[in-house]
Amino acid sequence: MSPDASAFSADTQAVHSGRGIDPATGALTPPIHLSTTFERGGDGSYPYGYIYGRSGNPNRDALETALATLENGAECATFASGSAATFSLLQALSPQDHVIAPQSVYFGVQQMLEKILAPWGLIYTLVDTTDLAAVAEALRPNTRLVLIETPSNPQLAVTDIRAVADLAHQANAYLACDNTIASPVLQTPLALGADFSIHATTKYLAGHGDVIGGAVVTRELNPLFEQLRLIQTIGGTVPSPFDCWLTLRGLQTLPLRVRAQAAAAQTVAEWLAQHSAIEQVLYPGLPEHPGHTVAQQQMTGYGGLLSFLVKGDQDAAMAVAARTRLIARATSFGSPHSTIEHRASIEVGTATAPNLLRLSIGLEQVNDLIADLDQALSG
């Protein structure tokens, strides 16, 4: 019998949520259920609770249960990618509904708003969500959703979740918070008033750089989540059973990984801030970061992702990335392997500075990472 993981600490929840001893074999590791279809009863019913892989699967149910427990939410819907999760939530709105999103919103979300959802009829406004007055001014009678990302990618801007939740709710709108960078280990948006917590499970939740996925956790059942669930089922943007199994496996070590990566990132950020070749370090754990005070209030750690601006132009930044030996030049973040990336060459047409490099801290020894950065910055 599986224990009620919700009664325990987050570390214990990460190990036990969504997991139980297999009744058929006694296995402590759950089996992977690859079947696309399930047997019906003689009376036409579904005695096992499953119909077809698109509408439900034991591995997906286990993962959704675990994520809802970790975020202290009512339910979770998982998707084939983080982008699919955000897109499906936005698609659950109606034409002529208004959405507020950050000016520094993730490049992929900006693209889906501009190129897909706006032509479909969704209205959106991009504002600096760290500026509460700007959020309040952007609200309209038809505002249905405020979307924030805190800390943001790659600017590491920090938005006051509780304050923006209050503004959204006063306007009868929902608040959705992308919690990918912090993870439930360091930040719990639903406890701060957000209605939805969004994740690219690809990053810290799965944690090993070998599976793509996304999730939306809702604080309570509401019409927008019900529509989202319909989109998940009918639209079929679901993760495979094996993807769910891999992500659930990754959750077991989530607290240990995230805390270790955050501690190392703090050390690296402090070292970079003193380096003569660095113009600025963007990391909420630094006292000089404009969002540091808010981050202290709503986070228990500052995450394993940071960005820094190299003194010079784009060529100077690219040259630094080209010289790293231990840190891989690659996109994405959250895996055990540290990565570095020049974001402006990916986010074409955005406000990302040409001399900005995004650095994802992995699980290598921090002194090895600093030595690699030092030789790369020294040229």
Question: For the chain, which residues make up each domain, given as ranges?
Answer: 5-251, 254-378
The set of residues, in sequence order, having a beta carbon less than 8 Å from that of 228 and lying 6+ positions away, is: 77, 88, 89, 92, 216
Would you give the DSSP letter of residue 40? Answer: P
CA 122 to chain centroid = 23
pLDDT, mean of residues 114-122: 97
pLDDT, mean of residues 304-320: 98
Any idea which fold 5-251 has? Aspartate Aminotransferase; domain 2 (3.40.640)
Domain spanning 254-378 has what CATH number? 3.90.1150.10
**Residue 1: band (very low, low, confident or very high) from pLDDT cuts 50, 70, 90:** very low
Q: Which amino acid is it at 111?
A: Q
Residue 24 has a pLDDT of: 87
pLDDT, mean of residues 346-369: 93
Please state the φ and ψ torsions of residue 186, each to the nearest 5 degrees: -105, -15
The percentage of residues in the chain with a pLDDT greater than 70, rounded to a whole number, is 98
pLDDT, mean of residues 347-374: 94
Residue 179 has a pLDDT of: 98
Indicate whether 308 pLDDT > 90: yes
Give, for 6, the enclosing helix (H) or strand (E): none
CA 301 to chain centroid = 15
Residue 2 has a pLDDT of: 54
**Residue 379: band (very low, low, confident or very high) from pLDDT cuts 50, 70, 90:** confident
The percentage of residues in the chain with a pLDDT greater than 90, rounded to a whole number, is 93
**Residue 361: band (very low, low, confident or very high) from pLDDT cuts 50, 70, 90:** very high
Between the CA of residue 217 and those of 38, 131, 197, what are the distances in Å?
27, 26, 5
pLDDT digits (tens, 9 = 90+) for 154-192: 999 999 999 999 999 999 999 999 999 999 999 999 999
Three-state secondary structure call for residue 228: helix
pLDDT, mean of residues 112-129: 97
Q: Which amino acid is it at 13?
A: Q
pLDDT digits (tens, 9 = 90+) for 83-110: 999 999 999 999 999 999 999 889 999 9
User: What positions carry a catalytic annotation?
Assistant: 54, 106, 178, 203
The set of residues, in sequence order, having a beta carbon less than 8 Å from that of 69 and lying 6+ positions away, is: 5, 6, 13, 17, 18
Nearest to 153 by CA among 202, 103, 115, 195: 103
**Chain-wide mean pLDDT for the chain?**
96
Q: Are the CB atoms for 124 and 173 separated by under 8 Å?
A: no
Q: What is the pTM of this model?
A: 0.95
Indicate whether 289 pLDDT > 90: yes
Nearest to 33 by CA among 16, 15, 52, 17: 52
Would you give the DSSP letter of residue 208? Answer: S
Residue 256 has a pLDDT of: 98
Residue 3 has a pLDDT of: 60
